[in-house]
Amino acid sequence: MNTSNALSTMQNRLSRQTGLFLVAVTLAAAVDPVGTSAERRQNLPTTNPTGSETAPRLRVIVETDAGGDPDDEQSLVRFLLYVNEWDVEGIIATRPVARDGENRNTERTGLGIIRRQINAYGECYGSLVRHDARYPTAAQLLDRTVVGYDGKDDGVSLIIKAIDGADPRPVWFLNWGTDRGSSGSSLKRALDKVLAERGATGYATFKQKLRLSSADKFDDHTTTIAPPFPLWVETFRPELDRKRWYHRFSEITATAGGFDVKRDVLTGHGPLGELYPLNTTHPQKEGDSMTFLYLVPTGMNSPEQPTWGSWAGRYGLQPEFSDRQYYWANQPDTWNGTIHRDNTLRRFAADLQNDFRARLDWCVKPFAQANHPPVVRVAGDRRRTVKSGEALTLDATATTDPDGDKLTFHWWNYQEPGTFPRELRVDSAGKPTLQMIVPEVDSTQTIHVLLTVSDDGEPSLTRYARVVVTVEPPGD
């Protein structure tokens, strides 16, 4: 009997007795993966470059009512530090005049406020590109920053041009609110125009290229006019304790991992961090940040899979639209002894705050003095099909760190996105290779095996991999 069969037999016996499955045996000798010297010299992509499901870069348009609640400006500081991760197709300002009292920006128009931040980004650009060559120039961003107010069609035209272009990739649209004093959404106006000019068929073709990670400001286009949006992830609702979900972002993340906004953002991190306002109703409110944190390619998330979990938490179908792919933040996770919606975000809060800290360091520090996230590589397909009781080996020994940092590996079962109905312990004793015997099932089930890799840099940075394992019953 080989080792796998022996394990299988032992496991089956154990599982029958306890109803729990456990397994994991480390195979390969532990290695301490570090980047090659060539890799260390380069700007490595910080995403998930080898997974079979690695998606192309996402196209993103943001629409913001900056100039009202200063939390849009908080979110914009963070957003601009992630523009290396996507192709930013546009930034649309929807508020013509800043709101006196609440908003203290020296610029008094929505467009002026956004441009001021992009100009500050431009001052950091020379430093940022030393950390990731994919950062666009400030000029490229300014070219695509337009107004959607005063009856101007710049925002409408930008959206239509992005959708109509030859690029086959969908466009993710992120509306950050249209609070009082703001004009309506340019996307709503674009859809009105397309429907009027192109009829039902042209409208359907157009809409098919849209994805929403967004507040809903699109009226009938969301609710009644067919076809529905192909995918809408609503990062603002439903309510929790009689407040909308996005209000939890502050409580869960503001000090996660020891984050200190004065030390890590406002002081000694360059002109962009200095524009992060503090006068919001909640500390570091950032009510709009989850719209794009949902899209940060961490290796764990897949934007077309809202139920999988992300740096913006995990999402489930909106009951009101049960026939559509419309999701919101109604899912609880079991974590650290509690079952709560907060956990879907809280379990990653320190990771995403540390990542923000590192990028602020990138604004002012050379490559060798700042930290960069591990590059997680799992050999083979990110989807596996295995029969009950068979062995499954997952090998992440090719994982590297651009700084040569020591890496910690943690394999775990993300139970909620899967269908396997019982606890499944996965323990590889911190090794980069996992062998598990998949549990016995009576019907086909899915198990989401996650790998979390953290480095020992300052601050510690984390990336992930996910392997979705389909377990089939024995026989056949």
Out of 371, 399, 400, 454, point to the residue binding Ca ion (CB under 5 A).
371
Nearest approach in angstroms of CB 64 to Ca ion is 6
Instruction: Single out the segment in contact with Ca ion by CB under 5 A; choices: 67-75, 91-99, 128-136, 438-446.
Output: 67-75
Kindly tell me which of 66 and 345 has the beta carbon lying closer to Ca ion.
66
Kindly tell me which of 235 and 371 has the beta carbon lying closer to Ca ion.
371
Nearest approach in angstroms of CB 74 to Ca ion is 10
The label of the residue with tokens 């979390």 reads: 452
Kindly tell me which of 333 and 355 has the beta carbon lying closer to Ca ion.
355
Q: Which two tokens stand for residue 258?
A: 């020891």
Out of 155, 177, 270, 418, point to the residue binding Ca ion (CB under 5 A).
177
Instruction: Single out the segment in contact with Ca ion by CB under 5 A; choices: 82-90, 184-192, 241-249, 369-377.
Output: 369-377
Nearest approach in angstroms of CB 175 to Ca ion is 9
Nearest approach in angstroms of CB 68 to Ca ion is 6
Binding of residue 455 to Ca ion (CB under 5 A):
yes
Q: Are strands 433-437 and 383-387 parallel, antiparallel or unpaired?
A: unpaired
What span, in angstroms and rounded, lies between the C-alpha atoms of 110 and 98?
7
Instruction: Single out the segment in contact with Ca ion by CB under 5 A; choices: 275-283, 348-356, 358-366, 450-458.
Output: 450-458
Instruction: Single out the segment in contact with Ca ion by CB under 5 A; choices: 18-26, 64-72, 327-335, 375-383.
Output: 64-72
Nearest approach in angstroms of CB 178 to Ca ion is 8
What span, in angstroms and rounded, lies between the C-alpha atoms of 290 and 246?
8
Q: Which residue of this chain has its Cβ atom nearest to Ca ion in the complex?
A: 177
Contact 351, 462 (CB under 8 A): yes
Binding of residue 277 to Ca ion (CB under 5 A):
no
Kindly tell me which of 388 and 452 has the beta carbon lying closer to Ca ion.
452
Contact 161, 171 (CB under 8 A): no
Kindly tell me which of 68 and 417 has the beta carbon lying closer to Ca ion.
68
Residues that bind Ca ion (rule: CB under 5 A) add up to a total of 11
Nearest approach in angstroms of CB 461 to Ca ion is 5
Kindly tell me which of 8 and 214 has the beta carbon lying closer to Ca ion.
214
Q: How many CB atoms lie within 10 A of CB 97?
A: 15
Kindly tell me which of 65 and 264 has the beta carbon lying closer to Ca ion.
65
**N- to C-terminal Cα distance for the chain?**
22
Binding of residue 355 to Ca ion (CB under 5 A):
no
Kindly tell me which of 141 and 461 has the beta carbon lying closer to Ca ion.
461
Give the contact letters, 218-257, x = binds to Ca ion (CB under 5 A), - = no: ----------------------------------------
SS3 assignment for the chain:
CCHHHHHHHHHHHHHHHHCCEEECECCCCCCCCCCCHHHHHCCCCCCCCCCCCCCCCCEEEEEECCCCCCHHHHHHHHHHCCCCCCEEEEEEECCCCCCCCCCCCCCCCHHHHHHHHHHHHHHHHHHHCCCCCCCCCHHHHHHCEEECCCCCCHHHHHHHHHHHCCCCCCEEEEECCCCCCCCCCHHHHHHHHHHHHHHHHHHHHHHCCEEEECCCCCCHHHHCCCCCCCCEEECCCCEECCEEHHHHHHHHHCCHHHCCHHHHHHCCCHHHHCCCCCCCCCCCCCCCCHHHHCCCCCCCCCCCCHHHCCCCCCCEECHHHCCCCEEECCCCEEECCEEECCHHHHCCHHHHHHHHHHHHHHCCCCHHHCCCCCECCCCCCCEEEEECCCEEEEECCCCECCCCCCEEEEEEECCCCCCCCCCEEECCCCCCEEEEECCCCCCCEEEEEEEEEEECCCCCCEEEEEEEEEEECCCC
Instruction: Single out the segment in contact with Ca ion by CB under 5 A; choices: 2-10, 127-135, 356-364, 447-455.
Output: 447-455
Give the contact letters, 395-414, x = binds to Ca ion (CB under 5 A), - = no: ------x-x-x---------
Nearest approach in angstroms of CB 340 to Ca ion is 26
Nearest approach in angstroms of CB 310 to Ca ion is 20
What span, in angstroms and rounded, lies between the C-alpha atoms of 469 and 476?
18
Instruction: Give residues 69-98 in contact with Ca ion (rule: CB under 5 A).
Output: 72
Out of 24, 44, 46, 65, point to the residue binding Ca ion (CB under 5 A).
65
Contact 203, 194 (CB under 8 A): yes
Instruction: Single out the segment in contact with Ca ion by CB under 5 A; choices: 42-50, 289-297, 318-326, 394-402.
Output: 394-402
Nearest approach in angstroms of CB 297 to Ca ion is 17
Kindly tell me which of 222 and 354 has the beta carbon lying closer to Ca ion.
354
Give the contact letters, 157-176, x = binds to Ca ion (CB under 5 A), - = no: -------------------x
Out of 186, 457, 466, 467, point to the residue binding Ca ion (CB under 5 A).
457
Q: What does the binding site for Ca ion look like in residue numbers (CB under 5 A)? A: 65, 72, 176-177, 371-372, 401, 403, 405, 455, 457
